[in-house]
Amino acid sequence: MDPALLRERELFKKKALSTPTVEKRQAASDSGSHKKKKPKVDKESSSGSKLSSESNGNFNIKASSGYKFGCLAKIVNYMKTRHQNGDTHFLTLEEILDETKLLDISMKQKQWLMNEALVSNPKIEVRDGTYGFKPKYNLKDKKALLRLLDKHDQLGLGGVLLEDVEEGLPNAAKAIKALGDQIIFVTRPDKKKILFYNDKHCQFLVDEEFQKLWRSVPVDSIDEDKIEEYLKKQGISSMQETGPKKVLPIQKRKKQAGQRKRHFKTHNNHLAGVLEDYSDGVPVKK
């Protein structure tokens, strides 16, 4: 070993022995039995875990209910589509689930569909344990559509929504095209189309003198309510408007430019030279 290193080692030992050291004694309380302290459980973390577990439970409930109603919507849309394509025969629940590829639903959800959802749905008809689509107007062909429009025209019920016809009539576009000018289309302000029966018996020439007499009767001063009341008295039913009603904007009251000064009558005319007018405030004495 290097002698220089040995000398430094000896000097270090001597210096260490010459330096006094004092050891600190532990207190009596600390010298007793050393008990292990229990780790404090953070209340916030425990409450947070409870909240997270509750939120997870609520999320699972919402997710399951959302999945159920999603399955119901898929079934109703499928039944509507197949009805519009001409497949009007009824299906069992197993056949519906097979065709909609909903084979992973549980037995509980199947019971819910059979006993609650499909039975109470207004667009589903139940017949001997089988299910079919239930449109507003169950129309088989174009002749049935024409009879429906003619009936509405005779009873004064107005037209029929195109979307209701498309819902209930298989291959509706083809049938409507085949009827041609026997149907009149009217578009409402909300862009929805209405079908009316085109009664060709009403298409006749009117004499010009009668037209002049008709146009000579003024009706500008008569509002629609009075016309409807007159028709009811004559036993005639008027066509009711089925479109969306326009909401009139509420007119705001105009604020007055300035408040008018109120003028009071004076009754003490005999004291005109004695009394003073303080309506503009107390006059300043000069």
pLDDT digits (tens, 9 = 90+) for 74-93: 999 999 988 888 888 899 99
Helix 142-155 with 172-179: angle, nearest 10 deg: 70
| Domain end position, chosen among 77, 100, 133 | 133
Q: Which strand (E) or helix (H) includes residue 28?
A: helix 28-31
Residues 117 and 148 in one domain: no
Q: Which pair of tokens denotes residue 120?
A: 């109470």
Q: Which strand (E) or helix (H) includes residue 97?
A: helix 93-99
Secondary structure letter of residue 122 according to DSSP = T
8 lies in a domain? no
Residues 162 and 119 in one domain: no
Q: Where are any strands of DSSP class E within 60-166?
A: 124-127, 130-133, 160-161
Residues 85 and 119 in one domain: yes
The predicted-structure confidence for 211-259, as pLDDT tens digits, reads as follows 899 888 887 777 888 888 888 888 887 666 555 555 566 666 665 655 5
Residue 132 confidence (pLDDT): 92
87 lies in a domain? yes
Residues 150 and 120 in one domain: no
115 lies in a domain? yes
Secondary structure letter of residue 242 according to DSSP = -
249 lies in a domain? no
User: For all residues of the chain together, what is the average pLDDT?
Assistant: 77
The four Cα atoms 39, 40, 41, 43 give a dihedral, to 10 degrees, of -170
Residues 173 and 129 in one domain: no
Residue 76 confidence (pLDDT): 92
Domain that holds residue 79: 65-133
Residues 146 and 101 in one domain: no
Cβ atoms < 10 Å from Cβ of 193: 15
| Domain end position, chosen among 152, 176, 197 | 197
**Number of domains composing the chain:** 2
Residues 75 and 129 in one domain: yes
46 lies in a domain? no
Q: What is the mean pLDDT of residues 11-21?
A: 72
Residue 62 confidence (pLDDT): 46
40 lies in a domain? no
Q: Which pair of tokens denotes residue 36?
A: 């292990």
Residue 15 confidence (pLDDT): 76
Check residue 158 and give left, alpha or beta (phi > 0: left; psi -120 to 50: alpha). left
Residues 111 and 152 in one domain: no
| Domain end position, chosen among 79, 110, 133 | 133
The predicted-structure confidence for 32-66, as pLDDT tens digits, reads as follows 455 555 555 555 555 555 555 555 554 454 456 78
Question: For residue 107, what is the domain's CATH number?
Answer: 1.10.10.10
191 lies in a domain? yes
252 lies in a domain? no
